[in-house]
Structure 1
């Protein structure tokens, strides 16, 4: 008969090590169940879930906020005068675009035969009036001499009449002459005295008349001299000189072309003084004011300046402004060089603020506040904004973390899970 295997069986005792392993497996299972339950609970409480790396988070803090405006512009010459043609004629350009010029250097010349001819005619008229004045002066001297001669003769006749009168007085006393002869001598004396008086008055009147005529001729000559001087000035201006030291900018005409009076010829750029021309959005036009501080970034250099001019009109939904800045420490700045600017509108002290972001596109009245991995929707009220920060008036406290990126994908959910 066949025996069973009981004789071959032996009792094997379990090892302690297997028990520890079993406990570890049970613990891991419990932890996994707990995590799964937590995730299920959180997922159930959050309407949507997004990747944490896809959102931007900022901390609400208290501090100073500077309201500013971002703008762009270019460097322009503070002094860039235009050169105009003084008269109609043919222009000859003595410089080319980009040439360096010094103050007083001749840069263009206008040939105006009409103006030259007019100057010669007026000079001829001036010479004629000078001759006329000289002739009137000679006539005045001649007439004065003639009148003085008549006065002297009248005085001689007066002396003769006085002598005859004395002789007649002596003769009448001794009855040498008749009464008629005596009275005749007295009449001759009276006539001589009257002739001298009238001659003196005529000489005085003639002198005044001749002086007036000479003065009128001198005034006419002086007026003509002014006409000649003005034409000489205009002829002198036909040679155009540079009013500033710098370079020639744009040329508006070509050489030997016909130009009219006051037609622009070229621009001169003064390289010793620059300004920044900044274009500001129309929405900020009412907030701009002269003297506001402006931070300019020119290449790698940053300088401070002040608003010096604001255009009264809006062009292409922008307002053009001018900024003066200290360029003593700047180098290698050029005309039309591009710049970026921050116009500092206002400085608010001790306000609640957060980093500016795309969440403002939602209207600035809602935000998502973080609590662990859950971002809950809260109502907020925003105030002043700057390029980098935005003021929080209500709805948040210092130290709160909110999502500042766009809420477009949140679908206005009450809570968001960040995974």
Structure 2
């Protein structure tokens, strides 16, 4: 029996399978080589950051507008409060929200004490006027008596002069004695003195009467002024609206007892509005009267001027009033919400960059981009606005820096943005 050659056969691997393995090995070696070369040729950096996780700003030259952004509301430019002029019971003639016209009676205060004081003052005025009339009659009577004394003194003087002339003639003819002649001379001198004093007494008495009468008139006039003042106070018990508008709020209830100078109500003038802004305390020293303001209400932007700044800080904010540059009140409503930009300063041809969280690092350093690597450089910043910040040194126009927060960089000298 002839045996086959099966025992002499040897299984040989296919050449194709051997080539495939060789190609895979070579490919792996090439890939490893390329990776190592890439790692060796890549820029060196301390830490690696994902590029999409940071914000990048480009420096440019232009105009920088320093501004302050704040929120606020529309308020009435004129919202006077009405006060009780006296103590009493108030009778309200309007309700909150009612329309009122200037000069309209909105409340009446019933003050029994004031009314009684007015009646007493009027009675005192009538008494003083009667007393003055009596003094005028007395003055006329006394003047008449004084004039009578002057006239009698004049008659006595004429009689004495006549007797003196007779005595002068008689003494020449020795018809009377020397004693009788001297008596006639003395009587004339006495009559002349009496007449002279009568005139002086009359003049003095008339001055005295005139003074007393003038004093009485002044007393009456003073009392008349007192009555007029009380009448004015009683008239003011009818409280009138000082502006045309609406009743904003009532501070008392009808027929309530109020004290003098108690607030009764607030009126709102709907013909003039202002913007009331709440500015952060940190910007209080930067704002000033007369600064321009851009006010945004929805899709509408209007301009205004800072007209008043509160001297006190409330809840770490300063209340600022802004007056609109135009008198158009269309579209404005009381307590309407708004946002505003207070324009502090305009600086031309400055190197600036978009504002970002990198300012929290102190504004002394920045990460400047050079390809995929951001290097830490020292900078100096200047004026800041709500949108941009001025760069004084350390960077140039066209440079790019990281403007997002630097907290996660741990003050690394360089970053790789992958």
Q: TM-score, normalised by structure 1?
A: 0.85
Pair 139,92 (structure 1): closer, same or farther in 2 beyond 3 Å: same
Question: Pairwise CA RMSD of aligned residues?
Answer: 2.7
CA displacement at 1:327 relative to structure 2: 3.5
Post-superposition offset of 1:249 = 1.6
User: Equivalent residues in 2 for 1:5-404 (5 A)?
Assistant: 40=39, 45-404=44-403
Detail structure 1 runs of 4+ shifted over 6 Å in the superposition: 28-35
* Distance (whole Å) between structure 2 residues aligned to residue 38 and residue 72 of structure 1: 57
Q: 2: CA distance between counterparts of 1:170 and 1:296?
A: 116
User: Structure 1 CA distance, aligned partners of 2:208 and 2:311?
Assistant: 63
Change (3 A) 1:147 1:46: same
CA distance in 2, matches of 1:206, 1:369: 108
Q: How many residues of Structure 1 are paired with residues of Structure 2 in the alignment? A: 393
* CA spacing shift, 1:409–1:173, aligned 2, 3 Å: closer
Q: 1:163: how far off?
A: 2.3
Measured in 2, the distance between the counterparts of 1:38 and 1:238 equals 98
Aligned-pair CA distance for 1:394: 2.7
Partner Cα separation in structure 1 for residue 333 and residue 326 of structure 2: 12
Q: Contact conserved, 1:49 with 1:416, CA < 8 A, in 2?
A: yes
CA–CA distance in structure 2, aligned partners of residues 31 and 68 of structure 1: 59
- How far apart are 1:298 and its partner, in Å? 2.8
Q: Which moved more, 1:167-176 or 1:200-209?
A: 167-176
SS at match of 1:186: helix
Following the alignment from structure 1 to structure 2, what is the Cα–Cα distance between the partners of residues 104 and 334?
A: 24
Local SS of the residue matching 1:286? coil
State how far apart, in whole Å, the 2-side matches of 1:34 and 1:377 are: 32
* 3-state SS of 1:287 partner: coil
Distance 1:50 1:113 in 2: 84
Residues 43, 417 of structure 1: 8 Å contact kept: no
Which whole-Å deviations, capped at 9, do the CAs of 1:327-386 have from their partners, x for residues lacking one? 334522122222212122222221111111222223323333334444444333322211
Distance, in Å, in 1 between the alignment partners of 2:160 and 2:322 is 97
8 Å CA contact 2:76–2:269 kept in 1: the answer is yes
Match of 1:24 in 2: none
Unaligned runs of at least 5 residues, structure 2: 1-26
Q: Distance in 1 between matches of 2:351 and 2:118?
A: 77
Distance 1:180 1:379, change over 3 A: closer
Q: Distance in 2 between matches of 1:248 and 1:269?
A: 6
Give distance in 2, aligned partners of 1:320 and 1:304.
18
Give the 3-state SS of the residue equivalent to 2:285 in structure 1.
helix
Give the secondary-structure state (helix, strand or coil) at the position aligned to 1:45: coil
| SS across alignment from 2:347 | strand
After superposing the two structures, state which structure 1 stretch, 328-337 or 246-255, moved more.
328-337
Seen in structure 2, the aligned counterparts of structure 1 residues 64 and 37 have a Cα distance that, compared at 3 Å, is: farther
Q: How far 1:50 sits from its partner (Å)?
A: 4.5
Report the secondary structure of 2:157's partner residue: helix
Whether the 8 Å CA contact 2:271–2:329 is kept in 1: the answer is no
Whether the 8 Å contact between 1:76 and 1:276 is mirrored in structure 2 is yes
Question: 379-388 or 124-133, which moves further after superposition?
Answer: 379-388
SS in 1 for 2:294: strand
Distance 1:240 1:196 in 2: 67
Residues 261 and 168 of structure 1: CA distance in aligned 2, closer, same or farther (over 3 Å): same
Aligned to 1:15: none
